[in-house]
Structure 1
């Protein structure tokens, strides 16, 4: 890129969450270059809205579940080859791959073998800090810069021999915090506290957790007068959830849409949640929680093997706990996911107790660890990192 030419960026996302990250990154790159940037690659609606010219429909590679991947494997492999060939033919100023390592990293490795001069930036680290740590060193051969969304990841990659890594901030700092309504988290409504119920965003998670969550809510209601269960539901699952909670002994309210979710987060006194990114959203929003998860058959088998060979390195599945390096939030896995244990963990969070205050204090420490100290947004810091990579290669 020169002062007369536009920056050429080839950007690849492999799933919906990556598409949202890519859209925000593209908007920030346009802002920082005065619009002198052209995008090509693979992405969905968010990236296309920012000017992406997609190689093929996003749905060709957004495949969930082992069975679906096996059925569509020939198409997926063909798309990997097509994408890598397009990158090499275009020879962009930079290739940005976003999450979805089963697709994006395969493309990156092919590009590196065919044209080592193209700089490659990876946005979102694989979970090398949980399992398969050897991936970090392997990535160093084909990733020139890694943009991490968790604050401890630069240290992890330095220790494991991974690529140079920059913490650019987690997207919840940009997508959740600015939109949250002002809240005292139900201090005034403590006599009828809102309890968020978040059984996951996948059908399998809901099947595994929602019945137990319902039994836990019944026990909580016996001990906390007036408790109000509220379930923010993903749109395509809302009807199903409404049907399943209809016969709960405590009337539960199912809310739909982003505004309703944000309002529920602002009003909530506590939450009972499945493990996942939502735990980080709750912590950032200041909502104390208890967390549960049940594994699928493959993960359950790996858990048994791990007791012998110890290839998974963390004893908690809750992201805020991992970032804090302390067990601030109670979590329950597999056989420990019982109505009694969940109720015992949630009840102290609904009143002004030392248990509740300890979690809130932990959230303050988490906020200090996660925020970018200069006040930049994650998408802005990511764009700066990409432009720095281009300048470094050009120099």
Structure 2
């Protein structure tokens, strides 16, 4: 089978790569052409575009790069027509992927269209469920509440569990001991508070300075920044001094050895929870974007941990609430033993709801079984 796979950011790259490994085990003739990052490139025969050329975050970033985005659409459409895949697998990245799904659906190709890691229609633009249903052949969900949401519209999705569990399990053998971690990075014996400001320049510029404002309030702790491998050290150096370490490409080692964390909303909140680290979730989209989103988003929480548990298990500080006073207060609260115990209990429930290990295997198996049903002329 010829697979064309599109992911738009680092987390999608990771989950798609794990899925590709499982597809290879079940389809010995699997041939991949992909839009993704380094992990997908390692698994694929061909890389069409790297995510550093295609990933733009925020309303204004999209507006500034409209010309590039339009060029990427055209390139992708032409590339798919030339490649003629048996199956198109879309990973998250709804703004781009839904347009490509529509194009392929109307292209005359016999390509099967799968969507894995669905757009968050339950959060905003709920009517997109009709679009997603109409432009794709099969949908695979990673969040437990999505099945009920789609069923409320009369549509079916396959819940396979969250692949982040697989990703963490794969990395566990590589994690270093606490003594080795401290020694390697020149850290003291003080308890660690981790700062996860995100993986994009805009996220780091807006959140890291605010996170660093709390450092002086915790003299008995040391702070470590989880640096993104796609960002230059010079960006972090604008805001940090020698008292705060920036460690690149070791987020899981950091989480494995930290007492608490300030975390940018996104996949990192789930990763932090799965390492049993109490956290304060930080979200600052910008005042204009915040008020635009406030008018259209129909959910009670922005943090995935809270969304899945359907309650405020961890604190969320959004826009104007993301200030020194409130961040310090919430961070002190989660360092208290009684709060920590309550959060860890919530995390245990979260892990159960995420479906356990094997999401990558389950989605690959369902995809291959589906493709085996295609008429031989389509293969």
Q: Retained in 2: the 8 A contact 1:194–1:229?
A: yes
Once the two structures are TM-superposed, the CA of residue 94 in structure 1 deviates from its matched residue by: 2.4
Structure 2 residue 33 is the aligned partner of structure 1 residue 32? no
Structure 2 residue 128 is the aligned partner of structure 1 residue 135? yes
Asked which structure has the greater CA Rg, the reply is: 1
Once the two structures are TM-superposed, the CA of residue 115 in structure 1 deviates from its matched residue by: 3.0
Q: Retained in 2: the 8 A contact 1:119–1:389?
A: no
Which stretches in structure 1 are left out of the alignment for 5+ residues?
1-6, 185-190
Which of 319, 323, 334 lines up with 1:338 in the alignment?
323
Q: In 2 relative to 1, CA 8–207 (structure 1 residues): closer, same or farther, beyond 3 Å?
A: closer
Match of 1:267 in 2: 257
Query: What does residue range 288-367 of structure 1 map to in structure 2 within 5 Å?
Result: 288-303=278-293, 306=295, 311-351=296-336, 353-367=337-351
Q: What is the CA–CA distance in structure 2 between the aligned matches of 1:217 and 1:157, rounded to whole Å?
A: 44
Structure 2 residue 98 is the aligned partner of structure 1 residue 121? no
Q: In 2 relative to 1, CA 183–321 (structure 1 residues): closer, same or farther, beyond 3 Å?
A: farther
Q: What is the CA–CA distance in structure 2 between the aligned matches of 1:77 and 1:345, rounded to whole Å?
A: 43
Q: Deviations over 1:369-394 (max 9, x none)?
A: 1133xx42x22112112112213444
Q: What is the CA–CA distance in structure 2 between the aligned matches of 1:46 and 1:340, rounded to whole Å?
A: 40
Match of 1:216 in 2: 214
Match of 1:198 in 2: 196
Q: Deviations over 1:168-200 (max 9, x none)?
A: 23232122234244889xxxxxx9321111222
Structure 2 residue 97 is the aligned partner of structure 1 residue 112? no
Q: Which segment drifts farther, 205-214 or 360-369?
A: 205-214
Query: What does residue range 1-395 of structure 1 map to in structure 2 within 5 Å?
Result: 7-33=1-27, 35-55=28-48, 61-63=54-56, 65-86=61-82, 90=84, 92-115=85-108, 117-162=110-155, 164-180=156-172, 181=175, 192-221=190-219, 226-235=220-229, 236-246=231-241, 251-258=243-250, 261-303=251-293, 306=295, 311-351=296-336, 353-372=337-356, 375-376=357-358, 378-394=359-375
Once the two structures are TM-superposed, the CA of residue 298 in structure 1 deviates from its matched residue by: 4.2
Match of 1:188 in 2: none
Q: What is the CA–CA distance in structure 2 between the aligned matches of 1:201 and 1:112, rounded to whole Å?
A: 33
Q: What is the CA–CA distance in structure 2 between the aligned matches of 1:183 and 1:79, rounded to whole Å?
A: 46
Q: What is the CA–CA distance in structure 2 between the aligned matches of 1:42 and 1:182, rounded to whole Å?
A: 32
Q: Retained in 2: the 8 A contact 1:136–1:161?
A: no
Q: Deviations over 1:312-369 (max 9, x none)?
A: 1112211100001010001111111121111111113224x22111100000000111
The TM-score, its normalising length taken from structure 1, stands at 0.83
Once the two structures are TM-superposed, the CA of residue 288 in structure 1 deviates from its matched residue by: 0.4
Q: What is the CA–CA distance in structure 2 between the aligned matches of 1:331 and 1:55, rounded to whole Å?
A: 38
What's the RMSD between the two structures over aligned residues? 2.8
Question: Secondary structure in 1 aligned to 2:215?
Answer: helix
Once the two structures are TM-superposed, the CA of residue 74 in structure 1 deviates from its matched residue by: 4.1
- Number of residue pairs matched? 363
The TM-score, its normalising length taken from structure 2, stands at 0.86
Once the two structures are TM-superposed, the CA of residue 263 in structure 1 deviates from its matched residue by: 2.3
